[in-house]
Structure 1
Amino acid sequence: MHALDSLIVKLQDVDRIRAKQGWSQRLKYTESHVLLVVTHGEGLLQLEHGEYLLSHQRVYSCGPKQTYGIREVGAAGLEVIILRFNLYQECASQPGQLEIWREEAEFLKNHHGRLLLPGEKLISLCESMDYNWQSGQELGRYRCQLEFQNLLYDLVQSQAGTQKEDSLALLERTKAYIEGHFTENLTLERLSAMAGFSQSYYVDLFKKRYGMSAMEYMTQLRMDKAKRLMAVSNLKLRDIAHQIGYQDEFYFSRKFKKEVGVSPSVYMKKRCRKIAAYSIEAIGYLLALDIVPYAAPLHPKWTGYYYQHYGKDIPVHMSAYRKGLDWESNISILREAAPDLIISLDNISAREKELLEAMGEVHYISAEISDWREQLLRLAVLLGEEKQADRWLSAFASKVHTAKTSLAEAAHDRKTVVLRIEKEQLYAYCSRATCEIFYGELGFSAGYSGNDSMYNDPITVGSLHLLEADYLLVMVRQEDLTLAYWRRLCESPEWQSLKAVRHNQLFMISPSPWLEYSPMGQERIVEEVSHLFIGK
């Protein structure tokens, strides 16, 4: 019996994205199952720890409790219909009662980038579902439920069939092959033959799709593995070179310096001490001292910036899911990693401190009392990086001065309110970083006053009208309930009549730097505000 025979399917929502060239959507978290159907254009789907090409007339799936993001990469824009649905099963302990089935559906796992239905049938069915869901007609959504059942049936049935791979699927197959065999002596002749293309066509197509040549991609994979080996082992340079596919250690050394910017010996010296960042903020302190942590909480959504820029250089990844939720698992990971030093905020539980200190030396960063600059200098003394701290602080001061000068006209005599949107509630928000950098050093004026300098106060759209803010900076939690509320809010006349919305002075901001109080977090706020207001 097929798994679907024992499940009940309910379509929850149909949404349509019409994206212009260069558009991107931040990673979002979903509690539901999601199907994405590309009706026009091309893009990239970031799904947990991998990326997939989004192409016309293809279907992609994302399971519950996963994160996904979308980016347009073609010249003609991108249109995607997003179908969110839940699966229900009979509760084993209470016959007759239904419970949500949160597992990733095995029968949808292999649909990434695969053309599952004849193109015209797929697009026609999805266009009809989108129309019926949004129409407001009697029985429109009921009909949509039936159409979705048909779509799901056809998708599952298609797994039994075989379909001829198109050029994109063949290209992705060779990319996956490189990822599994990059330590071997791969050649363009071999890879292009796998895809059935001429070498020149293969080279052009690969670079167009992935932004680098196949050989450059192979080199990147080799350097990433070399850095991981340098960080976690005492292997000699010759042995590392051999393990990643180079027989000549001197050629490898020259190649490494060209790609990474420093020689292998300098890189290994920098990584010889295993320093773990137990908290997200600790990552921002260590990176300001030019130290890449040995272990850190990383996730493509929850710590997206650090994951994207440093994830491949950090050997040990701990959970970053909803700060502090997986602390016991993170303690176990650290115990196995055996770091020489652990850096953590001091606002963790007594039990966590006890277990961390049982592993060895722990340095605590004050979460509430001291200024981040003072904390950075204290950490620099501990690690012998005083000169690097001075250099970083000097460069940061210069960056703030330049930004403040450029932003003076935009900030002058104009009120700003920072908003958080979570579930179905608006909050006027000011974190410590927001207070010190945005309102303090960059000189913007707060359009809302809380009972304290830092606040997270519920607020209504009606109250926002009374504030008459010139600018709204909005951070939206990327999960289904919040996003559905945000869409409804944007369509409401009350929201559209807000002063900042009418004058097109609403800016979407990434939550992570505004919630994080660290040197790197402060720097990222300066960069984001400069980009939003003056495009730099």
Structure 2
Amino acid sequence: MLSHLSKADSVYLLSSIRKRKFPKTCKAIQVKLPAYIICFITEGEGVIVIDGSLEKIRPFQLYLFVPGMILEFPEESIIFEYYGIWFEPILLMKRKGRYEAIPSLPLSGTVSPGNIPLHHPHQIHQQIVQIFNLSQKEHRRGSGELRIQFEELIHNMMHNKSEPPAAILDERVEQSILYIEQHYSDKVNIEQLAEAAGGIQPIAFSRLFRSETGISPVEYLSNVRMTRAKQMLNMKNSRVKEVAAAVGFRSEFYFSRMFQRNVGVSPTLYMKRGNLKVAIASSLRFEDHLKSVGLESVCVIDLFHYPGQSKEQYAELLHGQLLKLKQSNPDVIIADHYHMEFKDEFKKTATPVFLDFSIWDWKANFLKIAELVNREHQASEMLTRLDIEIESTGQTLRRILGKDRITIMQVNHRAIGIQGSVNHPLNELVYGELALTPGKQVPTEMWRMELQPKSMPVLETEHLFIHQHHILAGSEQLYEELTRMFVWPMIPAVRDKKLRRIPNWFVMSWTPIGRQQIMKELMEAISLSNDHNTSF
């Protein structure tokens, strides 16, 4: 078998092949792998964590696991059926006429550990089954035929591998991007970029660049500079003036102003971000973002003037909250868009950072806050845990609900709002990530539809969740009016006593901790109504 070898050749020694189910317990477990394993999933659908990264498992997926890799299976994980091939890669080196075996990279380094996308997974599956069947014959174990089939499997895996399609940019744009990455520390203008793109006119180049990347060349250049600046500011003994010059700014003052506009805080504060005292001014429970990464805010205020508060009550609350904020002596104030009118007032105490609400993206807000407090790793771990919980909870809820539909309603002092299935963190959680079936009247193209009680249709839904908002302003009266309408008892959820009052899920859905609580309350409500059919 060795006669064909050159000076160095890779060999794969098959140890065993097994057909197994895993895990065999409902408890959350963690496994540190002791060997190289090729794993082909045949049944089961769920999630695991591979070296800290969430992976969604589906049938006919192929994985390469290596020694030391850590697999985490969440509580109540789905049972996976798989073929596992234990093997050892070695490199045979010919030295002085003799072969020596030394450790080698798995699959000769051509395939990275983890999921291996395949063009034709059924072909790989068929080969693995053949190897398994051959290994079950006692007289075949250790045979040359088995080794040959395993070598053929390795070869086909490497050639069957499907590379994910890469976004292809116009070659002229790619050339200008390369120029930016090489010259960001220099003075760069649009004419130079247009010349680097092949000598096209600057106006035409700007249009082409934006159409290909979604942003202007100047914005792209600024992003590259700021990304590099953040990396340098994280280094020990870095100085703002030196960083400014290194990323292409002649003026330290102008660099600091642009950095604060781009990042939210000054370069000086950014260098201290791991030790900042942070205050929260939010109506969306941004303090829970800090708790999600293991931090506590020094002060939490909410200055929104809620309906039902008199001017005198609000003035007293405002004075007390601003005094509380000042006394906490924060380094930075993280605020939501409901507090924009207090920007100048906040500046008297500390640097305010207002998060971008051009789109309702709770996750972007969370990651932005995590970056401001130097907790990006903790934020990533939290999102992984949340994804696992969403996958597990969604599967359980869908199994319990079957074809039952869910509708979420908010009653305030002005109108009744039927929550839509899109464009709001709560909608995206319930109807998107958990994939629960919406009631027939749930709007599909808006985040909420508002009605008056007399306009309420018979809601075709088996489960109804209601939040009463702005009670001080009179939402209780509107709710009582709704329950007196003739259509109310005709709603299946009302008729079957599957109606539940809920806390403010609309605000809770903006944070990881809040989303976890929503899922917990959904599970409790659905399980209880399914088991006992009782009124909430």
Question: TM class, shorter-chain normalised?
Answer: 0.3 to 0.5
Of the two, which has the highest radius of gyration? 2
With normalisation by structure 1, the TM-score equals 0.40
With normalisation by structure 2, the TM-score equals 0.40
